[in-house]
Amino acid sequence: MLLLQSLLPGQEFDDEIAREFGGGAPGMDFLGVPFIDPQSLWTTLIRFMFNFLVCWAIIHFFYYRKANRKDYYFTFIMFAVVIFLIISLMENMKMNIAYALGLFAIFGMIRYRTETIKIREMTYLFVVMGLSIVNGMALSTSYLELLLVNLLVVLIIWLLDGTKMLKHTATKIILYDRIENTKHGREDNLKADLVERTGLNISKVEVGHIDYLRDVAFVKVYYEPIDGEVNTIDTITKLKNFEE
C-alpha cells in the first residue's frame, strides 16, 4: 500500500477496496475476516443493550409481577438475547426478509413438551421475539425511530396489562360435592355456597360433568383474582398433572 502511494502520489485509496484485493495493514485480518471492526462492534453492543433493557423491563415489570414464574422469566430473557444476536449477525451478512420471517415462524411454532404454554405466556413470548427481530434487523433505522417503536409496544402493554383498564377474570375448576345445588333453578344457592366455602369474589358459575354415582360434579367458577395475581394451576383436575 505504501509502495503504491509512493508511486502514485496524489491518488486516494479506499481501504475497503484495498482490503478486497489483499491490501490493508498486515495482521488486521485472517483469511479475509477482520479481527475487529470498531464501528460494527459498538453498533451491535449499543443495540443489544437497548433491546435487552426493553425486553427485561417488559418481562420484569409486567409479566413477572403478576405471574411470578422464574422459569418463564429465564426463557423470555434468553429468547430475547439469542434471537437478537442471530438476527443481528445474519443482518451483517445481508440476510433478506424471507430468512428472517422463516426464522420467526420456526421459533413461533416451538411448544414445550413438559407444559402447554398458556395464552399469556405465548403473548409475551411473541412480543419478546418480535422486538428482538425488529431491533436486530433495523440497522438502517434511526435510533429515535427505533426508540419510539419500542416505547409504543411498552405503552400498549402497560395500558392493557399493567393497569385496571382490562379487568382480569380468572377461572377455577372445582369438584363439587353438594350435587343438589347443581339443579336448574338453584344457581343462586350454588354460587352463594361456593362464595362461602372458597372466599372468592365469584361472578359466574358453570356446571360441567355430573357423577350421580358419587354425588359430585365439576363446576367452573369465574372470579376476580386477588391483587391481579395469575394462578397457574386453576384448571388442573388430575393428580398426575401436579407431578409434571
Residue the block writes with cell 395500558:
159
Task: Give yes or no for a contact between 16 and 29, defined as CB atoms under 8 angstroms apart.
Answer: no
pLDDT digits 0-9 by tens, 54-81: 999 999 999 998 888 888 999 999 999 9
Q: Give yes or no for residue 91 having a pLDDT over 70.
A: no
Per-residue b/e over 189-208, b at no fewer than 16 CB within 10 Å? ebbeebeeeeebebeebebe
pLDDT digits 0-9 by tens, 124-182: 988 998 899 889 887 778 889 999 999 999 999 999 887 777 777 788 899 999 999 99
- Backbone phi, then psi, for 146, in 5-degree steps? -65, -40
Q: Which amino acid is at 82?
A: V
Q: Which amino acid is at 157?
A: I
The x, y and z cell numbers of residue 39, run together, are 464501528
> Which pLDDT score, from 0 to 100, does residue 243 have?
38
Average pLDDT, the chain: 78
> Which pLDDT score, from 0 to 100, does residue 131 have?
93
Residues 6+ apart with CB under 8 A from 84: 47, 48, 51, 52, 132, 133, 135, 136
The pLDDT of 93-122, averaged and rounded, is 63
Q: CA 62, CA 43: separation in Å to the nearest integer?
A: 28
Torsion region of 199: left, alpha or beta (phi above 0 gives left; psi -120 to 50 gives alpha): left
Q: CA 3, CA 90: separation in Å to the nearest integer?
A: 37
> Which pLDDT score, from 0 to 100, does residue 115 have?
58
> Which pLDDT score, from 0 to 100, does residue 158 have?
92
Q: Could you give the residue ranges of the DSSP H alpha helices within the chain?
A: 2-7, 15-20, 38-58, 64-67, 70-92, 97-108, 119-137, 143-161, 187-198, 239-242
Give the model's confidence band at 25: pLDDT under 50 very low, under 70 low, under 90 confident, else very high: very low
Residues 6+ apart with CB under 8 A from 200: 172, 194, 221, 223, 224
Q: pLDDT exceeding 90 applies to what percent of the chain?
A: 37
> Which pLDDT score, from 0 to 100, does residue 150 have?
96
The pLDDT of 100-129, averaged and rounded, is 71
